[in-house]
């Protein structure tokens, strides 16, 4: 009898806590235009286009306008497109739209104590810690590491230039990005030989985790099922455990190195000055009981994932775009070479960021055409609100439709053509590459420094050509970031 009472109480609780709340959200959101959903809302239609989800949202934006509603299973979702709408929501009404939408399956991973999916005062504290290491002064100190990694990449490319045979660059650019984040976090980096050694090194594990973390889950779209099932695959948990163990080892290695550094007053891993990383600040938070050891691991994973795929994919798309537009590549190369002072063998971001005008235009166009965070990270309304006359219910998932904001003729003429000169007017309000609002990309200063430096070194030193008569494919696929297809290029050294 007690079991029957327990089941009855559970069912009643589920009804009032979830089903009735969902009915309320649907009723309030019902006046918002959007595609009609049948069984499971629009889930089946979206599932059919999962690798081109961003293109489906562009299609719906063109049909339904800058504010449209999508039902993904039982998940009420509103998609916002265009800077004016995004500004109204995430800047003018930031208190209502700031919260991150928390997926049920993330609870079992970190209890919402990571950097990406936490909310409230806890997240504000984490953000202040991270941003304290993202100041202009701190980024300038990171320049030597970025330059060192760029030099290592160019040395590797020199070998391919001598061989004169086509090769794929994606993996090198991803490791370039991974190494800078690993240096930023732990003061370490890894050789490019680890890309092909078949081991379970952290490089391999990060790449496997990136593939798995973007896979959809049933409980995201049907949260009511979360108490009864865990739909993450065994492979996901195995890879997550492997990655966590790597992070733990790196933390312990860093602490040991730091202790040795303090005793011997020597830099870590051959650095030119005593190494200070973001991990120092996070360890203080652990010591002061503001975050747990498990949360520290999750935060490190979040920083790795957020900073790795985005820059690597952006650089891949940059090369594809400039191979497909050879005249722009030549103009960029000349501008880089002509702008560098005599005797400067390597690019300095702090010195040249405003001194190579065409490089700045090309970077902006790469960011526009190939935004890494194509739909951003989902938010959730904390109260009922109204945007552009549309009432949106509390608890609704909100998507920043970054890709459509950058690729629609409503905002850009000839949006699918690579035209750096369009940014001469410097209308930055049209571009939302790093998302909009108080929870935009915390690492955008570091990302910009990485992209500018890598592109200056790559296109200042090498000429990239297409070994085929068919233009390189620049149609990215939907994942954690907009994924660039693998591509082959030939390179030669510029004099």
* Secondary structure (3-state) at 98: coil
484 is in an annotated binding site: no
| Cα angle 90, 106, 450; round to 5 | 60
Query: CB within 8 A of 330, min separation 6: which ones?
Result: none
* Secondary structure (3-state) at 375: coil
Give bridge partners of residue 464 from the DSSP assignment.
491
Q: How far is CA 402 from the centre of its chain?
A: 12
Query: CB within 8 A of 93, min separation 6: which ones?
Result: 385, 387
In eight-state DSSP terms, residue 361 is: H
Spatial separation of the C-alpha atoms in residues 206 and 12, rounded to whole Å: 42
Taking alpha carbons only, the member of 243, 242, 241, 277 closest to residue 257 is 277
Contact 442, 129 (CB under 8 A): no
> Tokens 């195995």 belong to which residue?
238
For residue 30 the two structure tokens come to 């019902």
Spatial separation of the C-alpha atoms in residues 276 and 411, rounded to whole Å: 42
Spatial separation of the C-alpha atoms in residues 390 and 404, rounded to whole Å: 20
Write a three-state SS string for 225-289: HCCCCCCCCHHHHHHHHHHHHHHHHHHHHHHHHHHHHHHHCCCHHHCCCCCCCHHHHHHHHHHCC
Taking alpha carbons only, the member of 134, 138, 139 closest to residue 115 is 134
Taking alpha carbons only, the member of 376, 439, 380 closest to residue 406 is 376
Element (H, E) at 72: strand 67-72
β-strand 75-80 against 397-400: which pairing, if any? Answer: parallel
Spatial separation of the C-alpha atoms in residues 379 and 361, rounded to whole Å: 31
Give bridge partners of residue 385 from the DSSP assignment.
392
Q: How far is CA 311 from the centre of its chain?
A: 8
Binding residues, by number, are: 441
Binding residues for heme: 441
């Amino acid at each position: 009898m007690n079991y029957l009472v327990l089941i009855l109480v559970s069912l009643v609780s589920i009804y009032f806590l979830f089903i009735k709340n969902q009915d309320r959200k649907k009723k309030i959101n019902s006046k918002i235009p959007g595609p009609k959903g049948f069984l499971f809302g629009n889930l089946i239609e979206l599932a059919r286009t999962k690798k081109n989800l961003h293109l489906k949202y562009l299609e719906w934006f063109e049909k339904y306008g800058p504010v449209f509603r999508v039902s993904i299973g039982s998940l009420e979702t509103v998609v916002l497109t265009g800077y004016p709408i995004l500004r109204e929501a995430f800047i003018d009404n930031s208190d209502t739209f700031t919260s991150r939408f928390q997926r049920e399956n993330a609870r079992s991973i970190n209890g919402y104590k990571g950097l990406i999916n936490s909310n409230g005062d806890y997240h504000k504290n984490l953000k202040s810690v991270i941003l304290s290491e993202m100041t202009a002064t701190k980024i300038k100190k990171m320049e030597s590491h970025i330059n060192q990694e760029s030099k290592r990449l160019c040395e590797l490319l020199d070998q391919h230039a001598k061989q004169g045979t086509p090769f794929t660059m994606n993996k090198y650019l991803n490791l370039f990005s991974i190494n800078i984040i690993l240096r930023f976090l732990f003061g370490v980096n890894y050789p490019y030989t680890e890309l092909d050694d078949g081991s379970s090194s952290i490089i391999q594990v990060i790449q496997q985790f990136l593939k798995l973390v973007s896979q959809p889950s049933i409980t995201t779209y049907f949260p009511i099922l979360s108490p009864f099932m865990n739909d993450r695959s065994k492979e996901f948990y195995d890879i997550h455990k492997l990655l966590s163990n790597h992070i733990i080892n790196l933390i312990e290695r860093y602490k040991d190195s730091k202790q040795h550094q303090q005793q011997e007053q020597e830099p870590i891993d051959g650095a030119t000055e005593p190494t200070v990383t973001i991990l120092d600040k996070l360890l203080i938070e652990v010591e002061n009981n503001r975050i747990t050891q498990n949360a520290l691991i999750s935060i490190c994973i979040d920083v790795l994932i957020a900073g790795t795929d985005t820059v690597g994919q952006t650089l891949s798309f940059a090369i594809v775009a400039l191979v497909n537009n050879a005249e722009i590549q030549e103009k960029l190369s000349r501008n880089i070479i002509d702008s560098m002072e005599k005797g400067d063998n390597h690019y300095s971001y702090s010195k040249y960021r405003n001194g190579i005008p065409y490089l700045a235009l090309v970077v902006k166009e790469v960011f526009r055409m190939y935004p890494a965070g194509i739909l951003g990270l989902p938010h959730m309304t904390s109260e009922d609100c109204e945007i552009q006359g549309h009432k949106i219910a509390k608890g609704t998932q909100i998507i920043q439709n970054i890709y459509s904001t950058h690729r629609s003729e409503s905002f850009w003429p000839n949006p699918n053509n690579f035209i750096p000169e369009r940014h001469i007017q410097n209308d930055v309000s049209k571009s939302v590459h790093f998302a909009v609002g108080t929870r935009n990309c915390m690492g955008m200063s570091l990302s910009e420094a990485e992209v500018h430096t890598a592109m200056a070194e790559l296109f200042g030193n090498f000429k990239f050509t297409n070994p085929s008569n068919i233009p390189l494919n620049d149609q990215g696929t939907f994942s954690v970031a907009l994924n660039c297809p693998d591509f082959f290029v030939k390179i030669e050294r510029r004099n």
